[in-house]
Amino acid sequence: MRHRFTQIVVFTLLVLAFSAPYSILAQSEPISSLDTSSAAGGAHHLSIPAAAFIPTSGYFSFENHGRYQFLLDNPYDVYGGFEAAVQLPQGAILTNMTFYFRDPGSGTATAILLRVQHFAGNSQEMLSIDSIDMWGANFGSISSSAFLTSAMIDNSQYQYYVFALLPEGAFIWNCGVVLDYFLPQTAPPQVATISPASFTPFNDGYEFSINQVLVHNQGVGGTNTRGWYLAPVRLPDRSAITSLTFYWSRIDTPEVVDAYLQRSLLGQDTYENMAILHSSAGSGSMVAADTTTSIANNLVDNELYSYWLLYDLPAAGYPGNYASGMDMQIEYTTLPVTRQIISIPAAAFQPYEDGYDYENHARHLIHHNDPGNNLANGWYVAPVFLPNGAMINNLRFYYFENSNAVGVAKLQRSELGTGNYEDLGVVFTSLGSNANGLGVDSTIQGGTIDNNRYAYWLVWDLPADAAAGKNVQGQAMKIDYSYQIYLPMVRR
């Protein structure tokens, strides 16, 4: 039986869009993760590692090791939530969800698949799985196909995410989720929804709440300054963005929310606006959308650029009057595939633990110091989603380096349900170059991608900013891979 705290949290998710803020935040999952690994009609798998789950509150004390995460302390409860956005092909049919966990006893973890309808402000539970006490075995997994709503993915109407509820203490772990699905028989219009669960704060110390809407309560130190929140956008290479829609809500405030689609030229640390959207000004409460088809440089080029969304939000303060971002909807078309590349911006990376002093500018990430204000290295993790059967050819790490300490980028994987990990690729920065750099590893281990057995993620190990301007800044990652596409036989 599900713990009563699960019931409380699910009820909270249903009503929070137009009530007092509650913090929920998670990492975006890329469109390029679409698993087209088998022939038409075959089963497909989306492996969501712990690296994709971000704590739902800035007050949590936690650790995220990429392969697993746990809650150390929630000062306001004995449970805490972590959330990961889910992005699957339009029209895909979900068939099963598997929750991987470590549960040695005396507690319960829960994974809940949820969807939220645009404008409605509701949250519908699609499927829920509780961990069970494993005692000596510790690690376990449970699968379920008991969907409570339609199992067909409809990105034009809903946003989707997985909510992981964990008890306090370092013993109960979330080790990831795998979703099984079938592709639609005919290709529907291509739509991607980037939910509030995809956005991470610009730096540590923001007070925010993310659920059906993203609310920026206060800036660093409790100041009523505006805040930036960033979400990676990963579309198929050579796809063309045809429209961008920004859903927003306003509760008794004249403040305006700004939403940007931006890109950065890899290795240059520059950025440019591709589209800008706004909420409307006014004192009344309302929900609405702003749409544009004017997308500058709308052809996605993962060979040269990384892409992300940025919300510029006003501070709500504690009276609860706010203007907020709900989600973004991207419509796009694809061209014939000539190369297989994904680019992963700094916006995709989150800190290993609470309390890091950092800045994430989307085009680069700077680690200042650890929770104790010591000049120790910092780890930052980002999920990796590739199609089943893909073979990684090389891993590229774009960075700026002006330090005598070395930065490291690693591609890692974990065998689901074990808690182990291994390095598949490693790239080091140079020393003291005071310039943008690029490191490449073409000796990738691990064979082909197996989303039914492993979870995959990236780690940045960055030295502390020992002196002003002396640091290693992670800018972006790029993965080149080979993938056999099977086409149906043509008969005369």
CA atoms within 13 A on the CB side of 383: 36
The predicted pLDDT at position 358 comes to 92
The predicted pLDDT at position 324 comes to 77
Write down the residue that tokens 């029209």 correspond to. 91
- pLDDT digit string, tens, across residues 5-48: 443 343 333 333 333 322 222 333 333 334 444 334 478 999 99
How far is CA 352 from each of CA 54, 62, 358, 425, rounded to the nearest angstrom?
Answer: 10, 8, 12, 19
- pLDDT digit string, tens, across residues 375-385: 889 999 999 99
Whole-number Å distance between alpha carbons of 170 and 179: 26
- Does 347 score more than 90 pLDDT? yes
Question: How is residue 67 written in tokens?
Answer: 């392969």
Whole-number Å distance between alpha carbons of 12 and 98: 24
Q: Give the number of other Cβ atoms within 10 Å of residue 293's Cβ.
A: 12
The predicted pLDDT at position 13 comes to 38
Whole-number Å distance between alpha carbons of 172 and 109: 7
Q: Are 172 and 131 in contact (CB under 8 A)?
A: yes
- Does 119 score more than 80 pLDDT? no
Burial 430-446 (b: 16+ CB within 10 A, else e): beeeeebbebebeebeb
| DSSP assignments along 51-101, one per residue | GG-EES-TT-EEEE-SS-EEEEEBTTBSEEEEEEEE---TT-EEEEEEEEE
The SS3 call for residue 16 is helix
- pLDDT digit string, tens, across residues 88-104: 988 999 999 999 999 99
pLDDT classification of 466: cutoffs 50, 70, 90: low
Question: How is residue 298 written in tokens?
Answer: 């709308």
The SS3 call for residue 365 is strand
What's the CA dihedral at 244, 239, 196, 180 to 10 degrees?
140
How confident is the model over 118-142, as a mean pLDDT?
89
- pLDDT digit string, tens, across residues 184-193: 877 777 999 8
Q: Are 328 and 466 in contact (CB under 8 A)?
A: no
Selected residue with higher pLDDT from 255 and 242: 242
Q: Are 200 and 25 in contact (CB under 8 A)?
A: yes
Q: Give the number of other Cβ atoms within 10 Å of residue 262's Cβ.
A: 22
How confident is the model over 173-190, as a mean pLDDT?
89
How confident is the model over 232-261, as a mean pLDDT?
90
- pLDDT digit string, tens, across residues 384-421: 999 989 999 999 999 999 888 899 999 999 999 898 99
8-22, 111-125, 192-206, 426-440, range with the lowest pLDDT: 8-22
The predicted pLDDT at position 439 comes to 95
Whole-number Å distance between alpha carbons of 343 and 327: 22
How confident is the model over 257-261, as a mean pLDDT?
94
Write down the residue that tokens 């002396």 correspond to. 470
Selected residue with higher pLDDT from 184 and 492: 184
Under DSSP, the state recorded for 414 is: E
The predicted pLDDT at position 321 comes to 66
pTM: 0.85
Selected residue with higher pLDDT from 262 and 433: 262
Pairing of strands 240-251, 110-117: unpaired
pLDDT classification of 468: cutoffs 50, 70, 90: low
pLDDT classification of 150: cutoffs 50, 70, 90: very high
- Does 441 score more than 90 pLDDT? yes
The amino acid present at 395, given as its one-letter code, is: L
The predicted pLDDT at position 467 comes to 61
Beta carbons within 8 Å of 137's beta carbon, 6+ residues apart: none
The predicted pLDDT at position 255 comes to 84
Domains and their CATH numbers in the chain: 344-482 (2.60.120.260)
Nearest to 96 by CA among 52, 51, 42, 44: 44
Tell me the longest C-alpha to C-alpha distance in the chain. Answer: 71
What's the CA dihedral at 367, 351, 52, 485 to 10 degrees?
30
- pLDDT digit string, tens, across residues 216-245: 888 888 888 999 999 999 898 999 999 999
